[in-house]
Amino acid sequence: MKRRSQYYILIGILTLFIILALAVREPVETTAAQPTLYWGSRGSSVTLLQRKLASWGYYDGRIDGIYGSDTYQAVIEFQRKNRLRVDGIVGRETWAALGYQWAGSSSQNVVRAATTAGNTRSNDVEMLARLVHAEARAEPYEGQVAIAAVVLNRVKSPSFPNSISGVIYQPLAFESVANGQFNLPPTEENYRAARSALNGWDPTHGALYFWNPSKPVSRWIWSRRIVRRIGNHVFGI
């Protein structure tokens, strides 16, 4: 009887040990401050971001720790729904809305801020090039620059969102975003056109709208004053 009691005590101890071991191995949600994230970021903080957005219904892609197109669009949607700056960059405000601290307050972030600015420029080029490819890949080079210039003109206008991503993802703004053409890879010429617009070339002279007169368009768009025609598109204000 005594031996049996010792046996049960031993089993109980082993069971408790196994339970404690498994509990230690369970992933615990980190409370550590998180770095600024943007298109191209990789690592555990991106994984944390993806898991959080997925749990809240914004993200349904792979949890792979890579900040790519799916993660970017989920962040954009989260920022829009929560009335944050819609730029696709996960910084102080976006991390706070997700329930985490931002690691950007330390002195080390002087270097990080410069890096982020460089990557923001890279993201802008990528997004503009994709829109140029989707909307004007068959157009002459000047016409491709003009499409990117319209986006930048909208960013400057108080009538539109104040970021490139906000303008491009504004509901019903560009058909190519809705039908998936925006997700196609740009060509090197598209990238050059995007950079030309970012560097200040505006062939449209300030236009906020463009359309192809040979295709069915809203009657309202014809109330805009046409300032230029380049290739198959007309540009208006």
Q: 110-236, superfamily in CATH?
A: Cell wall hydrolase SleB, domain 1 (1.10.10.2520)
- Across residues 32-37, what is the average pLDDT? 86
* Residue 67: pLDDT over 60: yes
d(CA 158, CA 155): 8
DSSP classification of residue 186: P
Report for 31-40, 65-74, 147-156, 160-169: range of highest mean pLDDT: 147-156
Per-residue confidence (pLDDT) for residue 110, from 0 to 100: 35
* Residue 105: pLDDT over 50: no
Domain boundaries, the chain: 29-98, 110-236
* Residue 109: pLDDT over 70: no
**Residue type, position 235, single letter:** F
- Across residues 102-130, what is the average pLDDT? 62
CATH of domain 29-98: 1.10.101.10
Per-residue confidence (pLDDT) for residue 80, from 0 to 100: 84
Q: Give every CB contact of residue 142 below 8 A, 6+ residues apart in sequence.
A: 203, 230, 231
Question: What's the chain's average pLDDT?
Answer: 83
- Across residues 26-33, what is the average pLDDT? 58
Whole-model pTM? 0.55
